[in-house]
Structures are given as structure tokens and as C-alpha cells.
């Protein structure tokens, strides 16, 4: 199953195969043991999980969330149970959930299970993870048809952006961390990340595609060793106005030997959904597609 879906992504097969994908998901054994359970109370320990629950229309079951689960806005009215790495276990016990959804973390899982709580892990490192996680949550919460619709909508968008072919793929540096006001402390999203998968579907390539790590740091010298057509940065922790953002683009001028800097192909995004891989990856895909289309025709 896993390898079948990877072939869907990397070979950009037509959307008609989505129905086969959903069919196989529904009938394959995913080791989900909640078929007959009557889930009434849920705690979510990650923002992408909270978003999935809302998208499936199961928000009425959500009794606890982390302090970072603030989308959609109505999620803020739900009780908080600390943060992912600082869980308030006493609060969770008080909320008496039937099930807890968390991003994979063995230490958290062992602690919660020692307290007699049921835990399901919901990964989101890749597009495959995101779609199978939506199906998994939908199955556990008996929201299978809603999950199918969400998956179908995501796949339709991915098919659409991947249908446009360009003769010369753009090489991008995908930055998930940088020291504000300088080009120091650069942290990069590598080939094996959802960001890069989406970028590739839109017709681009990763400037560091030979690096096997998901996320890694680079220095200035590393940048001069390769051709970088476009720089795309993601900083949800920033809250800058237009003038400040332009100044942040200008800090790259110290590296004007890089094609992306020379051509002014620098994009900075502050929206949080770029770094919360979940149902809103469609927005990422559409924005990446716009960048590729814009630069390919310049």
C-alpha cells in the first residue's frame, strides 16, 4: 500500500486513481482497533490533528487541545492541556478522554498509556502521511465519507498543480528558519519533506536534493556550491509589515552571486499553515504553483 501511493505522488498519475487509493485504504488493515468503539471525548496533541478533526465535522467531540492548536478560530474555546513537549497530564486525566491523538512520540505515548489512556499516533511528515492520517482519524471517528471528501479535494488540487509541465524545473531553497535581519542560522527543508514533495509536484526541484536529511542547517559557503533559482522562506513566528518584509528580502543582497538573489526571486511567507502540514496543504500547493508559473514565464 505504502509503495503504491508513493508511485502516485512521484509519477504524478491522473486523479482517476484517487478512487482506487481510497478504496484500498478502506479495505486494507491499518491496525485501527476503534471500529466498534463509541468515541465521545477526544484530546488532540497537535495542530494538524485538531484541523483534521474540524474538517471532518467532529469538533463537538474535542474536549482538549494544545496551546498551539488555534485553527480554526473556534478551536480556541476548547480547554488546553499544555504543549506538545510540556503536557499537562493531570488536566488530560480530568478531561477523561476516550482517545488521544498525538504526533508520534514514544515517550509521551508510554506515559499516557501508563495512565490507562488510549493513544493513536497521527504523523504528517509527508503527503502520504497526511492523507492516510485523515483516513485514519475518519475511520476511528466514524467519519469515513467526510474523510473521503477531504482526501478527494486535496488530491484534486495536487493533480491540478502537477498537470502543468515546464521544460526547465526551478531549483529552490526552502527555508524553515533564519535569523531575522541576516542570512545566518539557515535551516532548510530537504528532499524528504512534504514541502519539497509539493514543490516537486508543482514542477520544481530542491537545491539540496542530494542531502538525505529532512531538515538541516547550511552556511553561506554551502549556497555558493549550487545554482538556486528561487528562495522561499517560511516564518510563522515573524509578524512583519510589508516594509519590514522588503528589508528582510534585502538582507540577501550580501549573496548577490546567487541567481535567486540577483533576479529578486525571494518569497517570504508568515502564514502558519505552511509549517502545519494537514488539510491546508492545498493552499501551499496553489501558492507554489503561482510562484513556478510566474517565474517560468518571466
pLDDT band at 24 (very low <50, low <70, confident <90, very high): low
CATH superfamily of 171-296: Nitrogenase molybdenum iron protein domain (3.40.50.1980)
Model pTM greater than 0.85?
yes
Yes or no: say if 22 and 152 are a contact pair by the CB < 8 Å rule.
yes
Q: Read off the C-alpha cell for 59.
A: 469538533
Mean pLDDT of all residues belonging to the chain: 89
pLDDT band at 32 (very low <50, low <70, confident <90, very high): very low
Angle formed by the axes of helices 2-10 and 17-27, nearest 10°: 160
- pLDDT reported for residue 37: 67
Mode of pairing for the β-strands spanning 171-177 and 186-189: antiparallel
Q: Please name every residue paired with 216 in a beta bridge, in sequence order, or none if there are none.
A: 188
The CA distance from 76 to 69, in Å, is: 7
Other C-beta atoms lying within 10 Å of the C-beta of residue 259: 14
- pLDDT reported for residue 163: 87
Handedness of CA 194, 65, 38, 107 (dihedral sign): positive
Above 50 in pLDDT, residue 287? yes
Q: Where in the chain is the domain with CATH 3.40.50.1980?
A: 2-161, 171-296
- pLDDT reported for residue 85: 82
C-alpha gyration radius of the chain: 20
Instruction: Name which residue leads in pLDDT, 298 or 75.
Output: 75
Question: What is the CATH number that goes with domain 2-161?
Answer: 3.40.50.1980
User: What's the mean pLDDT in 141-145?
Assistant: 97
Could you give the dihedral angle defined by the CA atoms of residues 13, 162, 173 and 175, in that order, rounded to the nearest 10 degrees?
A: -90
pLDDT tens-digit map of 77-131: 999 999 888 999 999 999 999 999 999 999 999 999 999 999 999 999 999 999 9
Note the Cα 23 to chain centre separation in Å: 24
User: What's the mean pLDDT in 170-192?
Assistant: 96
pLDDT band at 164 (very low <50, low <70, confident <90, very high): confident
The CA distance from 37 to 46, in Å, is: 22
The CA distance from 296 to 28, in Å, is: 41
Amino acid at each position: 500500500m505504502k509503495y503504491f501511493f508513493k508511485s502516485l505522488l512521484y509519477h504524478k498519475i491522473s486523479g482517476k486513481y484517487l478512487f482506487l487509493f481510497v478504496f484500498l485504504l478502506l479495505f486494507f488493515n491499518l491496525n485501527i482497533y476503534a471500529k466498534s468503539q463509541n468515541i465521545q471525548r477526544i484530546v488532540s496533541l497537535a495542530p494538524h490533528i485538531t484541523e483534521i478533526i474540524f474538517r471532518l465535522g467532529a469538533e463537538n467531540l474535542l474536549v482538549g487541545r494544545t496551546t498551539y492548536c488555534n485553527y480554526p478560530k473556534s478551536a480556541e474555546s476548547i480547554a488546553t492541556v499544555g504543549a506538545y513537549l510540556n503536557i499537562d497530564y493531570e488536566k488530560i486525566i480530568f478531561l477523561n478522554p476516550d482517545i488521544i491523538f498525538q504526533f508520534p512520540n514514544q515517550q509521551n505515548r508510554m506515559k499516557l498509556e501508563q495512565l490507562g489512556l488510549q493513544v493513536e499516533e497521527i504523523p504528517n511528515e509527508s503527503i502520504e502521511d497526511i492523507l492516510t492520517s485523515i483516513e485514519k482519524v475518519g475511520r476511528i471517528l466514524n467519519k469515513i465519507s467526510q474523510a473521503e471528501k477531504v482526501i478527494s479535494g486535496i488530491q484534486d488540487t495536487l493533480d491540478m498543480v502537477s498537470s502543468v509541465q515546464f521544460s526547465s524545473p526551478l531549483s529552490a531553497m526552502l527555508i524553515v528558519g533564519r535569523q531575522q535581519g541576516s542570512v545566518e542560522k539557515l535551516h532548510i527543508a530537504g528532499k524528504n519533506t512534504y514541502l519539497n514533495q509539493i514543490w516537486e509536484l508543482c514542477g520544481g526541484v530542491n537545491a539540496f536534493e542530494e542531502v538525505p536529511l529532512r531538515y538541516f542547517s547550511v552556511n553561506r559557503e554551502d549556497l555558493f556550491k549550487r545554482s538556486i533559482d528561487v528562495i522561499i522562506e517560511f516564518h510563522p513566528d515573524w509578524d512583519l509589515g510589508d516594509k519590514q518584509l522588503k528589508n528582510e528580502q534585502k538582507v540577501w543582497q550580501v549573496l548577490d552571486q546567487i541567481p535567486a538573489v540577483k533576479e529578486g526571486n525571494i518569497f517570504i511567507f508568515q502564514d502558519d499553515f505552511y509549517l502545519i502540514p494537514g488539510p491546508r496543504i492545498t493552499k501551499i500547493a496553489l501558492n507554489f504553483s503561482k510562484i513556478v508559473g510566474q517565474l517560468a514565464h518571466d
